[in-house]
Amino acid sequence: MESPPTNTLGVQRRMRSYRIEGISRAFYRLRQSPLSLLGVGIIVGLFVVAVFAPYVAPYPQDAYIAVHFERAFHSPSWEYPFGTDEAGRDILSRVIIGSRISILIGIMVLCVAAGGGVPLGLVAAYRGGVTENIIMRIADIFLSVPPIALALAVTAALTPNLFNSILAICFVWWPWYARIVHGKALSVKQEQYVEASQSYGAGWLRIAFKDVLPNCMTPILVKATLDMGWAILLGASLGFLGLGAQPPTAEWGVMIATGYPYIPEYWWLTVFPGLAIFAVVLGFNFLGDGLRDVFDVQLEMR
Amino acid sequence: MKYRDYLLRRLVLVIPTVFGVITLIFVISRIIPGDPARLALGPWAKPEQVQEFRHVLGLDKPIVVQYFDYIIGLFKGDFGLSLTTKRNVLNDLLDFAPASLELVTTGMALAVVIGIPIGVIAGTHKDKWPDHVTRIFALSGVSIPQFWAGIILQLIFAYGLSLVAPNGRLDINLLPPKHITGMYTIDSLLTGNWETLRSSINHLILPAFALSLASISEFARMTRSSLVEELGKDHVLAARVNRIPEFLVVYKYALKSSFTPIMTLIGLDYGFLLGNAFLIEMVFLWPGLARYGVNAIIDKDFNSMMGVTLVIGIGFVFVNLIIDLLYGYVDPRVRLRAK
Amino acid sequence: MTTEKPSTPDRRGFLKTAVGTVAGLAVGGVVGYVAGTGAQAPTPGQATATVTVTETGSVTGPGPTGPGFWTKSNDETFVFCAIHPVVNTDPHQCLEVLDNETALQAYDPLVVMGEKGVKPHLCVAWDMSGDGLVYTFYARDDVMFHDGSKMTADDIAYSFQRALTVDMNPVTWFRDAMGSTMDERVGNVKVLTASTVQLSLVKTFGPFVSTLPLTYIVSKKTVEMNIKRPGAKVNYKNSLNGDMGDWANEWLINNDAGSGPYRLKQRVWGDKDVYEAFPEYWGGWRPDSFRNLIYQSVPDPAQMKLMMQQGKAHMNDMWYPLDVQLLTAEDPSIKLYERQDYGPLYMNLNCQKPPLDDVNVRKAIAYAFNYDSMLNDILLGRESLQLGPFPNTLWGHDDTLDIPRYDVAKAKEYLAKAKYKPSEIKVTAAYVTGLTQEQRIALLLKANLAEIGIDCTPQEMTWNNIEGKTSQKDPRDSLDMVEIYFTNQYPDPDAWAIIFWSQLWKTGPSFISASYYENPKYDDLFVKARYEVDQGKRIEMYKEMQQILVQDQPALWLYNMQQRHAMRKDIYGYHFVPPAVQSYSKRYSVLSKYPL
């Protein structure tokens, strides 16, 4: 039997790094939970549909220019599984193509909010003093206002459209990330390896991003997954109120709003887009819930 | 540090936060494009009339002066003129706030009354099928888009089964009860007006339930996890060994210790519901504060916007404050960390 | 080995089941109580002798007079579903169509609109002087206000002075003819005798009398009693009456000072307005009229449908979407009332904003639009196409106009002549949230324009936002294309011709002048026709103006709206006379659950 490899100091070397082993162990536990797998399935399905949307949708033109008033308000049938809307457009196609917008909202919000909030939180934790106070007070003020109300106010101040609504949601979201990272970074700061880095003269920037950040990743990851769902929900809510994507864009929230005057006779205009939102957010929540169990993270819920 | 010091510190911090909220919303409301005076006077108004009205509204003064005028006005009870209702925003707030309060309180009550028993069932049957079903239920409740849930409920219960009313607060041909609290259910009860009572409950059920969906899930999950933790403890084991019936074990011994987290969750959720009620108010046409606020934003009625955000924002701040204070009282570590 | 304790009839278990059953019963009981709706049996009608109701709502024949007429047995309430809540009940500040309708219940105007033109109402007759500058009105002597005082010429003059000082719609229609300053105008309102009022003009104004039906007469006594001076938010003053404080504006928001058949009883802000019958109404009552009136705001069309079908509401607003109206009328207990109104829908084209400043582009758009598809698919054949700039059925309409119709080839022809290439042309078409016909028309336009290579984006906006945008001083900051119904006018071609008068947007831009059209010849004709008193000459001038407009295409002439209400089959007496906003038929004292 071959003896395990040793490094120059004669200490046993691990086959894989500790971190990678931790992650693979976590994913093993994740695989055990059927709900999480279901969540992953839904999310993967969503991404596939969104990427291949024009090929998957039976009447892709209906999501853009085409109108067919002569076949308006057809109830769900084999030809139009989700029925047709007030302009005769196939609702299934619009829902499929609408998934692109929802994904866009989710990804953009995460990138900007996390991309902005995380560094801010790190800087606040590491620099301390006045910088910390200013950043965290501003975060507090933003956190004091209910998220949807703030998103509303910002969108209304600017012209209501998809881009501005994404901007508004980012505005609302970044403080959460800042706060989480700030809290975790504060505790990590005390750890020995940070002291070690400091001792051999690493600048605070390097320490912050190389030592502290990777250890904050787990709560960020869990929150990001859950947040993707919330961002999509918030985007759809703004669309429903007419402050996000604008009609006739095939966005799920907008479709529900346009279909609302026609209930209950033409119920399919509102039911199916909402079902899509529900399914997608559910998927993210299943996965996020599973991840949270796996990483056993203490998180603020909102 | 002593609790008293913590209390003082926390209270003092409220003031800059409140001012921060006011300033933030003020800035947003003033940069909204469009001339509110012009809109209020209609299409045939002459430019001189518009100028005069702008003067009445105080819009021709420099923005800093407007800001201080507004703050001072607040203390005097003058919240500015609403452009849509043409009266003092304070009157509007007093009219609409009880409606929102009624809705949110009922939603909260439903969440507690439905959510906790569900959580108990899940907790006592951990890892068996009721637990899994409850978990899916809870996750669904949180994932479902609130406005869509409201529409589905309307479709099924109001239009489909004709059990309850779809929108509004009261039947068309009924007048509101005498104004004591502004909440129709309580006022009808207090004045013995049974028809109005029945009608107002009829209208209240659906929106309150739709509002409570997410909170039901929260309560269920929290109850479950707290219960699971408690049931693993020694004193519960001791109770079981002594043949105390399971029902008592759960409610008297385990659940009672969950009391504090439940209370804090109620407080947290109250603020959450207040801030999220407006999607429900929009769908159910509930004439509450949130709907008034949304319409103010859409119609660029800047004074109303300020008024509503002020009320909600400050309410939020105070709820957070109370939570923090409660936490500080209960958990000494929080106090120490705040040093 | 332990022995199991024998299971005693578990007291706790018993309590559990008992409590559970009681709770279950209680919940069930509450649900049943709440869901149950008590149906009220309709009260039988009263036998009537011959009663006739005139076109202007006066009742002749034996009818009730005096208090105490309504008893428990005929205490009926009429419920009207409106798509917005009532905003303002000050009768001289009614900007919205609905505000005018509610004002009509409690107030009377001097004259009203009948089938064939203006008719006297609070006056018995009027004279116009030879030069067309002095109008003398002879007041009725049997009109009593809600406060018990009798109407005299004083009240009429006072009301006009107040209206001219408050200076809002609809006074703006005729104020310029009465003078150039407020003091001058107010000075031109004179009391000659106890029953004669004189209104003097500074220049002749053809449509003058037809612009009067929305100026309501208020009781001087009541208004004076409720004037608030110190601390008033608004301040009205003129040289004649002096400083009038808020001139009872604040009081009028929750009360009325009128002489009409109904009295404002209660306002539930943003929700409903409740009116109660005034038995001493001078116009008389049908014995089976409604005692109470409720204007209920029901912004949700689906709920409106439910309320109507359940009999909880009796009539609805014309602004509900067409499909919902038709769906509602499918119910056997509901009938649909339709009558042609003067309500054209225009798609205004911003003539000052590139690329719409080129007439060829505008013409191309006009010929690219599929009018038949709009009529048959969107409007389901229930409306009629607009045949030119002025309403089809209004006098002065030129029937020989060459209106654009769907012709893609011709559209491309015009486009080729334009100074912009199709790829450069990007326009937005704005429409009002909630008006589903407008929304679908915008979608249709988008599809049609794509056929000729023009990029058109529908833009949904709230009415307030549209008003805001179209009030921009610089036309280039305003909207490209916007759909607007022009119903809020008086029945004279002048009311629609003014839309295209360039002075309107140059002095005070608004949604009315959203076309920003300018043509000096047109402006010239407009002013001439306005101040001309001879009807024949005016018709000639309006015909010429229509020809000019058709050539220059400042807007797309879409369709002419019907006045459409869904109402319960057992509501009788409604007879609509255009135009919508002035219609005296909106006075609901003429309605009843029983036929005459």
CATH number (domain holding residue B307) = 1.10.3720.10
Domain membership of residue C56 (yes or no) is no
Q: Does the CB of B193 have a partner CB in chain C at under 8 Å?
A: no
Q: CA nearest B169: which of B318, B87, B73, B280?
A: B280
Q: Residue C336 — φ and ψ, nearest 5°?
A: -110, 130
Measure the CA–CA gap between B68 and B26, rounded to whole angstroms.
11
- One pLDDT digit (tens) per residue for chain A, 302 residues: 456 566 666 666 666 666 666 667 767 777 777 778 888 888 888 888 888 888 888 888 877 878 888 888 888 888 888 888 888 888 999 999 999 999 998 888 888 877 888 888 878 777 777 888 888 888 877 776 667 767 777 776 677 788 888 888 888 888 888 887 887 777 777 776 667 777 777 666 676 677 666 767 777 777 787 788 888 988 898 888 888 888 888 899 999 988 888 888 888 999 999 999 999 999 988 888 787 777 664 443 33
Q: Are residues C395 and C494 in the same domain?
A: yes
Subunits close to A (at least 3 CB pairs below 8 A): B, C
Quick: pLDDT tens for C69-80: 565 556 688 999
Q: Which two tokens stand for residue C230?
A: 């110190």
b/e burial code for range B27-44 (CB count within 10 A of at least 16 → b): ebbeebebbbbbbbbbbb
Mutate one of B86, B170, B201, B291 to test the C interface: name it (highest C CB count within 10 A).
B86
Domain membership of residue A182 (yes or no) is yes
Summary mean pLDDT of chain B: 77
Mutate one of A62, A258, A262, A271 to test the C interface: name it (highest C CB count within 10 A).
A262
pLDDT for B8 beyond 90:
no
Res A298: pLDDT: 44
Find tokens 């599984």 and name the residue: A81
Cβ-Cβ contacts under 8 Å, A265 against chain C? 327
Quick: pLDDT tens for B224-265: 877 777 777 777 777 777 777 777 777 766 666 666 677 777
Longest dimension (CA), chain C: 123
Which residue, of C258, C283, C315, is where some domain finishes? C258
Q: Partners of C267 in the beta sheet?
A: C273
Contact criterion met (CB below 8 Å) for C228 and C250 = yes
- What is the Cα C411 distance to its own chain's centre? 36
Q: How many CB atoms lie within 10 A of CB C353?
A: 18
The mean pLDDT value for B21-48 works out to 68
Res A300: pLDDT: 39
The mean pLDDT value for B97-126 works out to 86
Domain membership of residue C30 (yes or no) is no
Find tokens 């010929």 and name the residue: C367
Name the closest residue on chain A to residue C304, using Cα atoms. A261
The mean pLDDT value for C177-202 works out to 90
Domain membership of residue A129 (yes or no) is yes
Q: Are residues C324 and C352 in the same domain?
A: no
Domain membership of residue C32 (yes or no) is no
Q: For chain B, what is the total number of helices (H) and then of strands (E)?
A: 16, 0
Q: Which two tokens stand for residue C293?
A: 């009136």
Inter-chain touch B147–A237, beta carbons under 8 Å: yes
Domain membership of residue B316 (yes or no) is yes
Who among A66, A258, A260 is closest to C447 (CB)? A66
Which residue, of C258, C278, C311, is where some domain finishes? C258
Q: Are residues C327 and C345 in the same domain?
A: no
Domain membership of residue B32 (yes or no) is no
Q: Are residues C237 and C361 in the same domain?
A: no
Would you tell me which residues 107-146 of chain B have a C-beta closer than 8 angstroms to some C-beta of chain C? none
Res C80: pLDDT: 92
Q: Residue B192 region, left (φ>0) first, then alpha (ψ -120 to 50), else beta? A: left
The one-character DSSP state at C485 is E
pLDDT confidence tier of residue B171, bands split at 50, 70 and 90 = confident
Q: Are residues C414 and C493 in the same domain?
A: yes
pLDDT confidence tier of residue B292, bands split at 50, 70 and 90 = confident
Measure the CA–CA gap between C167 and C264, rounded to whole angstroms.
24
Measure the CA–CA gap between A167 and A154, rounded to whole angstroms.
9
Cβ-Cβ contacts under 8 Å, C323 against chain A? 86, 262
Q: CA nearest A87: which of A105, A104, A66, A102?
A: A66
Peptide bond between residue A248 and the one before it cis (omega within 30 degrees of 0)? yes
Domain membership of residue A100 (yes or no) is yes
Q: Are residues C417 and C481 in the same domain?
A: yes
Inter-chain touch A261–C450, beta carbons under 8 Å: no
Res A142: pLDDT: 78
Cβ-Cβ contacts under 8 Å, B320 against chain A? 144
Q: Are residues C74 and C137 in the same domain?
A: no
Inter-chain touch C443–A66, beta carbons under 8 Å: no
Who among B16, B135, B275 is closest to A146 (CB)? B275
Contact criterion met (CB below 8 Å) for C562 and C570 = no
Res B339: pLDDT: 45
The one-character DSSP state at A249 is S
Find tokens 């004045």 and name the residue: B191
Mutate one of B173, B185, B187, B292 to test the C interface: name it (highest C CB count within 10 A).
B173
Tell me the residue range of the domain where B143 lies: 96-338
pLDDT confidence tier of residue C131, bands split at 50, 70 and 90 = confident
Res C483: pLDDT: 92
Inter-chain touch A156–B282, beta carbons under 8 Å: no
CB under 8 Å to A9, separation ≥6 — which residues? none
Cβ-Cβ contacts under 8 Å, C458 against chain A? 247-248
Domain membership of residue C371 (yes or no) is yes
The mean pLDDT value for B50-70 works out to 76
Contact criterion met (CB below 8 Å) for C107 and C223 = no
Q: Which two tokens stand for residue C156?
A: 């009429």
Contact criterion met (CB below 8 Å) for C66 and C280 = yes
Cβ-Cβ contacts under 8 Å, A284 against chain B? 143
- What is the Cα A75 distance to its own chain's centre? 34
Who among C324, C433, C446 is closest to A242 (CB)? C433
Res C136: pLDDT: 93
Domain membership of residue B169 (yes or no) is yes
pLDDT confidence tier of residue C17, bands split at 50, 70 and 90 = low
pLDDT confidence tier of residue C482, bands split at 50, 70 and 90 = very high
pLDDT confidence tier of residue C43, bands split at 50, 70 and 90 = very low
Q: Which two tokens stand for residue B58?
A: 């105080």
Inter-chain touch B152–A35, beta carbons under 8 Å: no
Structural domain total, chain C? 3
Contact criterion met (CB below 8 Å) for A261 and C324 = yes
Q: Does the CB of C403 have a partner CB in chain A at under 8 Å?
A: no
Residue scoring higher pLDDT (B89 or C190) = C190
What ipTM does the predicted assembly reach?
0.79
Residue scoring higher pLDDT (C163 or A248) = C163
* DSSP helix/strand/coil, A191: coil
Residue A99 sits in a domain whose CATH number is 1.10.3720.10
Measure the CA–CA gap between A259 and A27, rounded to whole angstroms.
42
Domain membership of residue C26 (yes or no) is no
Res C240: pLDDT: 84
Subunits close to B (at least 3 CB pairs below 8 A): A, C
Who among C301, C434, C446 is closest to A65 (CB)? C446
Q: How many CB atoms lie within 10 A of CB C568?
A: 18
Which residue, of C258, C276, C302, is where some domain finishes? C258
Q: Which two tokens stand for residue C306?
A: 């439910």
Q: Are residues C433 and C474 in the same domain?
A: yes
Measure the CA–CA gap between C397 and C546, rounded to whole angstroms.
8
Q: For chain A, what is the total number of helices (H) and then of strands (E)?
A: 12, 0
Q: Which amino acid is at C430?
A: A
Inter-chain touch B47–C35, beta carbons under 8 Å: no
Res C232: pLDDT: 64
Classify the C-alpha dihedral C377-C381-C387-C389 as positive or negative: negative
Lowest mean pLDDT among A127-131, B116-120, B332-336, C162-166: B332-336
Greatest mean pLDDT among A94-108, A170-184, B51-65, C570-584 lies in: A94-108
Residues from A contacting C (CB-CB < 8 Å) are 65-67, 69-70, 72, 86-87, 242, 246-248, 258, 260-265
Tell me the residue range of the domain where A251 lies: 44-60+79-295
Structural domain total, chain A? 1
Q: Residue B36 — φ and ψ, nearest 5°?
A: -65, -30
Find tokens 């719609």 and name the residue: C169
pLDDT for C67 beyond 90:
no
Name the closest residue on chain B to residue C461, using Cα atoms. B298
Angle, to 10 degrees, between the axis of helix B3-30 and the axis of helix B302-330? Answer: 160
Measure the CA–CA gap between C578 and C114, rounded to whole angstroms.
8
Res C7: pLDDT: 43
b/e burial code for range C296-325 (CB count within 10 A of at least 16 → b): bbbbbbbbbbbbbbeebbbbbbbbbbbbbb
Inter-chain touch B287–C312, beta carbons under 8 Å: no
Inter-chain touch A285–B142, beta carbons under 8 Å: yes
Find tokens 């009924």 and name the residue: B174
Measure the CA–CA gap between B200 and C34, rounded to whole angstroms.
9
Res C410: pLDDT: 92
Domain membership of residue A247 (yes or no) is yes
* DSSP helix/strand/coil, B180: coil
Mutate one of A62, A67, A265 to test the C interface: name it (highest C CB count within 10 A).
A67
Q: Are residues C133 and C70 in the same domain?
A: no
Tell me the residue range of the domain where C404 lies: 340-562
pLDDT for C49 beyond 50:
no
Domain membership of residue A65 (yes or no) is no
Q: CA nearest C479: which of C518, C514, C530?
A: C514
Kind and range of the H or E element at B56? helix B47-57
Measure the CA–CA gap between B41 and C249, rounded to whole angstroms.
15
Q: CA nearest C121: which of C112, C129, C134, C130?
A: C112
Residue C461 sits in a domain whose CATH number is 3.10.105.10
Domain membership of residue B43 (yes or no) is no
Domain membership of residue A86 (yes or no) is yes
Q: Which two tokens stand for residue C594?
A: 């029983």
Q: Are residues C114 and C188 in the same domain?
A: yes
3-class secondary structure per residue, C262-283: EEEEEEECCCEEEEEECCCCCC
Summary mean pLDDT of chain C: 82
The mean pLDDT value for C211-232 works out to 85
